[in-house]
């Protein structure tokens, strides 16, 4: 059995070279083509100086080139860094800079976003270790010769070279980094190794029954996040086709589910309601066997009844960057309102879940809430470059301290309730409020900031309170525009309010800001 990404892909391509790995916007890409493209790209990356252990940033949407780039890095023993296409200059500078990426692959024409301009606006010092920029494109617009003083290469020309014959991958070496929010401004880098990615992919494929010959998978969420990544890897591990589009569009995805007879997909947050609205009828998706679901706002659970009545099989999932998405799922046998809860049974028979009282440190029996601790073959290798955070996150016996509140059930499952801290869930992504606060405090008119999550128009949004600099005028629109230039749109506060001082609770360790009070204040202001 293959335990490196590259060996797995080559073995699959040898067994079924013409079978489709992707149906990308109606264009089939076979396993043989995917393997060959990854080999040719690996040759190009090697010529550009990429060596084992080096990082390569993938700033691409859901296209086969993203996956080919992942496998190309794997062949070289390099590490792919998954970068969200929604990121703006401040986030790019932080992620690409701290990861020390030697090369960056991106598509400057995607959705008419000025990706080159975003790179040019980033802190020069943060990107100084990027030696080469590789541009993917689907038109004939001319490429710049240089970007930020570094050479620019055409992805399509690179893959015209000879395929790499060597394979420097090992089962226990790191292969992909995902970013996750922590308790500081800087997101942590979650590093996974080859064997963990492949074993989890096989466990998920087995748990979802991907071996069935009619399996067709639509990964409707980004590859750069663990949900889209894990669903994609599971389908590939089973040799089944993925129907892909660069970005989610409800009408397009609904049409693809029907036309391509998709059997498995995910619809996180309000995506399920959007799909149902785009496909009217009593039973709009007859081919669907499973639609992974996660509730990020109480109002989003209301879609479950409509989905059930229309035969859309929603299924609650659980996962994280540290233990990979699709770590667990609920049984289909449960009533729909129970079935859509986060949690369930782990996909891996080797995985374990326990619940610990955060105050006493004692393990808790079923029905008693505490911090979820998780262990299994899908667990991360480490927080890359952060041994202190790694040691804090892992117990002596190998469990990951999730920071999630939940409880065990008497039938052997677990239920996720919410985050124990103040991490926000925005547009399907976990976001540290401290990260948004840090960007706000970069504005010359802001002395301090606090960010909380509230519902605005039925959706979870960040809301900020700022203490203006003495003598500075408060301008909410200007601050929101400043944020929009610096960070992804889903992180931009929906409202920003001025405040003279934050409400605090005195304690032996200093004054603690009352986030709960701020949430109440924000909700009251928004309702008014």
Give the three-state DSSP class for 257: helix
Q: Considering only residues 147 and 506, tell me which one the structure prediction assigns the higher pLDDT.
A: 147
Banded pLDDT at 508 (limits 50, 70, 90): very low
Q: Pick from 328, 344, 154: which is nearest to 230 by CA? A: 328
Q: Is the pLDDT of residue 298 over 80?
A: no
pLDDT digits (tens, 9 = 90+) for 193-213: 999 999 999 999 999 999 999
Using DSSP, state whether 284 is helix, strand or coil.
Answer: coil
Query: What's the chain's average pLDDT?
Result: 93
Supply the pLDDT for residue 467. Answer: 96
Per-residue CA distances from 421 to 34, 38, 433, 435, 459 (Å): 41, 41, 10, 14, 20
Asked which of 80-89, 301-310, 416-425, 515-524 is least confident by mean pLDDT, the reply is 416-425
Show the tokens assigned to 323.
């233990």
First to last CA, the chain: 61
**Smallest Cα–Cα separation from 84: which of 522, 519, 490?**
490
User: In the chain, how long is the greatest CA-to-CA distance?
Assistant: 71
To 5 degrees, how large is the angle CA 183–CA 189–CA 190?
Answer: 105
Model confidence pLDDT, tens digit, residues 478-506: 999 999 999 999 999 999 999 999 998 76
- The CATH number assigned to the domain with range 5-14+25-170 reads 3.40.50.980
For 363-413, how does the pLDDT look when each residue is reduced to its tens digit (9 = 90+)? 999 999 899 999 999 999 999 999 999 999 999 999 999 999 899 999 999
The predicted-structure confidence for 436-467, as pLDDT tens digits, reads as follows 998 999 999 999 999 999 988 888 899 999 99
pLDDT at 176: 98
Pairing of strands 424-426, 429-431: antiparallel
In the chain, the percentage of residues whose pLDDT exceeds 90 is 83
Give the bridge partners for 290, in sequence order: 264
> What CATH fold (topology level) applies to the domain 431-527?
GMP Synthetase; Chain A, domain 3 (3.30.300)
Q: Is the dihedral of CA 208, 211, 214, 218 positive or negative?
A: positive
What is the chain's Cα-based Rg? 23
Instruction: Give the residue-averaged pLDDT of 128-148.
Output: 92
Structure tokens at 54: 């080096």
Task: Say which DSSP state 489 is in.
Answer: G
What was the pLDDT predicted at 499? 96
Arithmetic mean of pLDDT, 325-350: 96
Condensed to tens digits (0 to 9), the pLDDT of residues 185-194 reads 578 999 999 9
Q: Is the pLDDT of residue 1 over 80?
A: no
Range(s) for CATH 3.40.50.980 in the chain? 5-14+25-170
Q: Would you state the pLDDT for residue 297?
A: 64
Are 422 and 519 in contact, with CB atoms under 8 Å apart?
Answer: no
Where in the chain do CATH 3.30.300.30 domains reside?
Answer: 431-527
Averaged pLDDT for residues 314-321: 96
- Sort residue 53 into left (φ over 0), alpha (ψ -120 to 50) or beta: left
Cα(197)–Cα(39) distance, integer angstroms: 20
Q: At what angle do helices 64-76 and 31-47 cross, to 10 degrees?
A: 60
Give 293's pLDDT tier (boundaries 50, 70, 90): very high
What are the backbone dihedrals phi and psi of residue 371, each rounded to the nearest 5 degrees, phi first?
-80, 130
Q: Which pLDDT value is given to residue 145?
A: 87
**What are the structure tokens assigned to 226, written together?**
């663990």
Q: How far, in Å, CA of 137 to CA of 48, rounded?
A: 19
pLDDT tens-place string over residues 100-120: 999 999 999 899 899 999 999
| pLDDT, mean of residues 424-435 | 81
Weakest mean pLDDT among 8-12, 66-70, 138-142, 504-508: 504-508
Are residues 432 and 441 in contact, defined by beta-carbon separation less than 8 angstroms?
no
CB 237, CB 212: distance < 8 Å: no
The mean per-residue pLDDT over the stretch 266-294 comes to 94
Residue in 408, 382, 385 with CA at minimum distance from that of residue 393: 382
Distance CA 224, CA 107 (A): 14
Q: Which residue has the higher pLDDT, 433 or 11?
A: 11
CATH no. for 194-419: 3.40.50.12780
Tokens of 371: 């911090």
Split at pLDDT 50, 70, 90, the class of 320 is: very high
Number of Cα atoms under 13 Å in the Cβ half of residue 464: 29
Using the predicted structure, report yes or no on whether residue 182 has a pLDDT greater than 60: no
Instruction: Check residue 483 and report its DSSP letter.
Output: H
Q: Which of 288, 290, 351, 297 is nearest to 319 (CA)?
A: 351
């Amino acid at each position: 059995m293959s335990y490196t990404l590259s060996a797995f892909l080559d073995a699959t391509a040898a067994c079924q070279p013409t079978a489709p790995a992707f149906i990308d916007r109606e264009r089939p890409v076979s396993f043989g083509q995917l393997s060959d493209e990854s080999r040719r790209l690996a040759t190009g990356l090697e010529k550009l100086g990429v060596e084992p252990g080096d990082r390569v940033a993938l700033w691409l949407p859901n296209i086969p080139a993203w996956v080919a780039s992942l496998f190309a890095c794997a062949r070289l023993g390099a590490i792919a860094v998954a970068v969200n296409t929604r990121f703006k200059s401040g986030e790019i500078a932080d992620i690409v800079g701290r990861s020390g990426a030697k090369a960056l692959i991106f598509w400057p024409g995607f959705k008419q976003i000025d990706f080159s301009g975003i790179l040019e606006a980033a802190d020069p010092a943060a990107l100084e270790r990027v030696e080469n920029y590789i541009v993917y494109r689907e038109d004939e617009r001319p490429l710049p010769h240089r970007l930020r003083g570094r050479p620019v290469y055409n992805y399509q020309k690179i893959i015209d070279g000879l395929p790499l014959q060597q394979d420097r991958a090992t089962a226990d070496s790191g292969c992909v980094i995902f970013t996750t929010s922590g308790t500081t401004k800087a997101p942590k880098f979650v590093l996974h190794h080859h064997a963990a990615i492949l074993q989890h992919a096989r466990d998920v494929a087995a748990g979802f029954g991907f071996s069935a010959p009619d399996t067709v998978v639509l990964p409707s969420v980004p590859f750069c996040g663990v949900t889209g990544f894990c669903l994609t890897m599971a389908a590939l591990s089973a040799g089944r086709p993925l129907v892909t589009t660069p970005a989610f569009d409800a009408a397009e995805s609904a049409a693809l589910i029907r036309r391509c007879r998709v059997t498995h997909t995910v619809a996180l947050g309000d995506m399920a309601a959007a799909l149902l609205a785009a496909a009217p009828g009593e039973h709009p998706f007859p081919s669907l066997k499973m639609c992974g679901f996660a509730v990020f706002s109480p109002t989003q659970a209301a879609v479950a009844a409509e989905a059930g009545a229309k035969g859309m099989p929603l299924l609650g999932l659980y996962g994280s960057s540290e233990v990979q998405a699709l770590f667990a799922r609920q049984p289909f046998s449960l009533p729909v309102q129970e079935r859509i809860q986060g949690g369930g049974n782990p996909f891996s028979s080797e995985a374990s879940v326990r619940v610990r009282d955060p105050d006493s440190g004692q393990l808790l029996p079923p029905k008693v809430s505490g911090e979820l601790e998780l262990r299994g073959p899908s667990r991360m290798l480490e927080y890359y470059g952060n041994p202190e955070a790694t040691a804090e996150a892992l117990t002596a016996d190998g469990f990951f301290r999730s920071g999630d509140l939940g409880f065990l059930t008497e039938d052997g499952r677990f239920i996720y309730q919410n985050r124990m801290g103040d991490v926000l869930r925005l547009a399907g992504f976990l976001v540290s409020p401290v990260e948004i606060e840090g960007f706000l405090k970069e504005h010359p008119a802001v002395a301090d900031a606090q960010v909380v999550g509230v519902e605005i128009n039925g959706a979870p949004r960040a809301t900020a309170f700022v203490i203006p600099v003495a003598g500075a005028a408060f301008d909410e629109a200007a601050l929101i525009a400043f944020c929009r230039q610096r960070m992804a749109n889903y992180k931009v506060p929906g409202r920003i309010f001025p405040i003279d001082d934050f409400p605090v609770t005195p304690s032996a360790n200093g004054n603690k800001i009352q986030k709960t009070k701020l949430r109440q204040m924000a909700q009251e202001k928004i309702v008014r």
